[in-house]
Amino acid sequence: MIKIANAPVSWGVLEFDLDGENASYSQVLQEMQETGYDGTELGDWGFLPTKAEHLKMELLEHQLTLLAGFVPVALSDPSAHARGEAAAIRTARLLEDVAGKTAFIVLSDDNGQDSNRTLNAGRIQPKHGLKDVQWKVFIEGTQRIAQAVAEQTGLQTVFHHHCGGFVETPEEVHQLMSLTNPDLIGLCLDTGHYQFGGGDSLVAVKQFSDRIRHVHFKDFNPDVAARSRAEGWDYFESVRQGVFCELGQGEVDFPAIEHELKINGYDGWIVVEQDVLPGMGTPRESAQNNRDYLLSIGI
């Protein structure tokens, strides 16, 4: 049975060093519970309590399950791999202590750090991509971290493609999946990032059916993306302008995607994410609208 969660990113809790203030973790958990969600991801390290017993208590109080933790690593830089492995193990141990071995490490590139990728998010060309030698380093880092997580905690790793990072376009997602060991690396399909990166999420569900182990439901506004292309916005300005809108307000075909997931036997979590910058929007209202939309289509 598919279960529905939300994540701190919907309240502007991001891994980026940006201006603006966020709500407290207690407010975020309370609003998740009040708007009808059953689980949460960890968010940026240190946002939720990092002591297992404290975190368990907070989650129990708000009747939420912890299901995953996001770990960004500059995977194209070999000097970052050891730090990335340490961060992933730290996160995995907390997840294991709180949620057991069903939780996921959601590994990603350290997005928003490369100026070309950040500036050209949503309109990436082959010239902006990794060269063969860089792909080799990227894959080595990805598999090294996943292997260490599996050996030391037993948790699985899924890779999160992300606009503003080095795995954004459908071609790049395909390249990553084709070069990694399926026993080590699954796919966290993010519908909004896949659409903004130039793809069709329904096609991705069919194409990567044997690799999808975690799913983020995020909508995508093509009109905002068109303005981003025309005016040369970077990734952060596109988010600020609402490229990731409330569910049902953009072009992602969620009913068809959910149907295809069920056909494929997916019975994991769907995590609602509406990426906003710190202090932006009305997160609680959007969380309620997003949950109501999913209920309206039978999820």
Q: What is the pLDDT of residue 87?
A: 98
Is the pLDDT at 275 greater than 80, yes or no?
yes
Exposed, middle or buried, 59 (CB in 10 Å: 0-12/13-18/19+)? Answer: buried
Angle at 156 between CA 155 and CA 159, to 5 degrees: 140
Q: Which domains does the chain have, with CATH numbers?
A: 3-296 (3.20.20.150)
Other CB atoms closer than 10 Å to residue 21's CB: what's the count? 8
Q: What is the pLDDT of residue 41?
A: 97
Q: Could you tell me which residues are beta bridge partners of residue 106?
A: 70, 158
Angle at 9 between CA 64 and CA 109, to 5 degrees: 115
Q: 204-243 pLDDT, tens per residue?
A: 999 999 999 999 999 999 999 999 999 999 999 999 999 9
Q: 182-199 pLDDT, tens per residue?
A: 999 999 999 999 999 999
Q: What is the pLDDT of residue 13?
A: 85
Q: 100-112 pLDDT, tens per residue?
A: 999 999 999 999 9
Asked if residue 68 lies in contact with residue 108, where contact means CB atoms within 8 angstroms, the answer is no
Q: What is the pLDDT of residue 19?
A: 56
Q: How confident is the model at residue 1 (pLDDT cuts 50, 70, 90)?
A: confident
Mean pLDDT of 71-94: 98
Taking the whole predicted model, whether its pTM rises above 0.85 is answered as yes
End-to-end CA distance of the chain: 10
Q: 4-59 pLDDT, tens per residue?
A: 999 999 998 876 555 556 789 999 999 999 999 999 999 999 999 999 999 999 99
Angle at 289 between CA 6 and CA 249, to 5 degrees: 100
Mean pLDDT of 114-124: 96
